[in-house]
Amino acid sequence: MTYQEHAHQGAPVPPPGCPAHRAGGGPQGDGLLRLFGPEAEADPAGFYEKLRAEHGEVAPILLHGDLPAWLVLGYSANLTAMRTPSRFSRDSRRWTEFQQGRVAPDSPVLPVIAWQPTCSFVDGEEHRRLRTAVTDGLNRFDRRGMRRYVTRFSDQLIAEFGDSGRVDLVSQFAEHLPMLVMTQLLGMPEEYGPRLVEAARDLVKGTETAVASNEYVVESLRRTVERKRNEPGQDLITWLIEHPSGLSQDEVLEHLRSVLLAANETTINLISETLKMVLTDSRFRAHLSGGQMTLPDALDQVLWDSPPFMLVPGRWATGDTELGGQAIKAGDMLLLGVAAGNADPAVRPDLDTPLFGNRSHLAFGSGPHECPGQEIGRAIAESGIDILLTRLPDLQLSVEEDRLVWRGGWMSRHLTELPARFTPRAALRPQPPAGPVPSSAAPSTPLVPGPRPVAATPLRTPAAGPAPVPAPPLPPAPPVVPQQRRGWWSALLARLRG
């Protein structure tokens, strides 16, 4: 059942602001703060502290359309909600607002909370069946093979701007690297990479072409799945298809879409925020270059201070219960306040105290639904930043720090740009295409953090291979992916094809 079908069940949808929106389950009372708009998006940390001061560990709030929910602010309360699925389920079909027909079919919360046939929306035995297939597949990748892909694409991206001496590290590096690597891990054709980068960003931004972009992502995955059934390889798509859990076609597609989009968005934010810290915090840069802080330590500090998602929806109460001093009713929705929990004074009385190497943050969740791909995301971010700083050791921010701008949203905020300058490196050249990422069946380096700088490698002409699979056509107008200038990808493909 799609979320559009689900939203139409039940009573007619009242207009936003109507008291009927709060007549069912969820927090009650007038004057509840909205988790969207200028106040919440301009200063989310201040907004969370205002809620904490008034309500404690769990605060009542309103979502888009004035839908009621609880925002979990306390570190301990977040762990309780994450670790006890018997009380707080991941099945969004339990939500009272769904059951009573108060969620508008165009609600912006639907794409992330509407039920889907994935391990993220089920509990118990069905969750174990689906999650085992995903984790078994992801765990077959090793760090050495991942590093080859990250090195290759990092070098290609750096080569695109290396001779200019200037770069926007968000739009020219962080927003491209994760998707390009993930398409290779999934086993998708090379031609899909650049277009999927644009489609994924368009989808997350919620533009007027977001629906068409989502269709392009799904169609790209569907075509690749069909090909992999006849031409299996050492990739996640093949491993999901062949897994003894017996995933259906829809289950394979939905999990691939979730992995692709979630890994892309979170890793973009992790790379951007870590590079921002490297370029703006003199203590950080000095520690990093002086060997007192490793890059994995730096990533953990960022995951404490600026987690890729500020909050994660959601959990739904399986019955009447209590959390953080609040009476939670059956069917109420809880939003996990990851950023607020990380800043809880009960666990961090001094936010300026470094937390190098401390991985007890909430950025990847906890309990049975803890992020299964966190080590892959960390590996892409860590290796990509390591390579960038190795290639461009004199990288510096080219604007004042107070001019940096974030684009806010109800779940996360994104650094819009990170302008930097460096000594031009005209001699840099991208690496040749890498082979398949080794699986755990072969001797390999475990997928654990640890920086390993590598030197630039000259471009070599790869051996001839099978003809590429054509990408699915973009929808008519409006286009899914904005027209791009001829850049590093087009130039490289033209050169490799002669």
Q: Are residues 274 and 334 in the same domain?
A: no
Helix (H, G, I), strand (E, B) or coil at 333: strand
Between helix 249-280 and helix 192-205 the angle, nearest 10°, is 80
Helix (H, G, I), strand (E, B) or coil at 443: coil
How many domains does the chain contain in total? 2
Q: Are residues 56 and 148 in the same domain?
A: no
Residue 70 and residue 96: Cα distance in Å, rounded? 13
Q: Are residues 107 and 165 in the same domain?
A: no
Helix (H, G, I), strand (E, B) or coil at 196: helix
CA atoms within 13 A of residue 330's CA, in its CB half-sphere: 5
The residues pairing with 87 across neighbouring beta strands, listed in sequence order, are none
Alpha-helical regions (H) of 332-439: 338-342, 374-391
Q: Are residues 297 and 434 in the same domain?
A: yes
In tens digits, the chain (498 residues) has pLDDT values of 333 333 333 333 344 434 334 444 556 555 788 887 777 877 899 999 999 999 999 999 999 889 999 999 999 999 999 999 999 999 999 999 999 999 988 787 887 888 989 999 999 999 999 999 999 999 998 878 889 999 999 999 999 999 999 999 999 999 999 999 999 999 998 788 888 888 887 776 656 677 788 888 889 999 999 999 999 999 999 999 999 999 999 999 999 998 988 888 899 999 999 999 989 887 777 776 776 778 888 899 999 999 998 999 889 999 999 999 999 999 999 999 999 999 999 999 999 888 888 999 999 999 999 999 899 999 999 999 999 999 999 999 999 999 999 887 778 888 999 999 999 976 555 555 555 555 544 333 334 333 333 333 333 333 334 444 455 554 433 333 333 333 333 333 333 333
Contacts 24+ apart (CB under 8 A), 191-195: 191/468, 191/469, 191/470, 191/471, 191/493, 192/220, 192/224, 192/471, 193/489, 194/484, 194/489, 195/220, 195/471, 195/474, 195/480, 195/481
The whole-model pTM stands at 0.79
The amino acid at 16:
P
Q: Is residue 127 part of a domain?
A: no
Cβ proximity of 361 and 353 under 8 Å: no
Q: Are residues 277 and 243 in the same domain?
A: yes
- Give the single-character DSSP code of 466: P
Q: How far apart, in Å, are the Cα atoms of 98 and each of 62, 91, 102, 159?
A: 15, 12, 6, 50
Q: Is residue 131 part of a domain?
A: no
Containing domain of residue 38, as a range?
A: 1-115+310-362
Burial code of 73-103, b = ≥16 C-beta within 10 A, e = fewer? bbbebbbbbbebbebbbbbbebbbbbbbbbb
Q: Are residues 163 and 260 in the same domain?
A: yes
Q: Are residues 7 and 154 in the same domain?
A: no
Terminal-residue alpha carbon distance, the chain = 47
Q: Is residue 133 part of a domain?
A: no
The domain spanning residue 281 has which CATH number? 1.10.630.10
- Give the single-character DSSP code of 171: I
Q: Are residues 379 and 358 in the same domain?
A: no
The residues pairing with 77 across neighbouring beta strands, listed in sequence order, are none
Q: Is residue 71 part of a domain?
A: yes
Q: Is residue 185 part of a domain?
A: yes
Q: Are residues 292 and 190 in the same domain?
A: yes
